[in-house]
Amino acid sequence: MIFLIEYDLKKGHLVELRLYQDSDRTLAEQARLELELLLRRRRISHEIVILEAPDEAALRTTHRRYFEDLAGLAKAAS
* Residue 69: predicted pLDDT: 67
Tell me the CA distances in angstroms from 78 to 16, 66, 72, one per residue in order: 28, 19, 10
User: What is the tens place of the pLDDT at every residue in 4-14?
Assistant: 999 999 988 89
Q: For the chain, give every domain's residue range.
A: 2-77
Which pLDDT does position 47 carry in this prediction?
A: 96
For the stretch 28-75, pLDDT in tens is: 999 999 999 999 999 999 999 999 999 999 999 999 889 886 555 556
Q: Are 6 and 16 in contact (CB under 8 A)?
A: yes
pLDDT tens figures, 19-39:
999 999 999 999 999 999 999
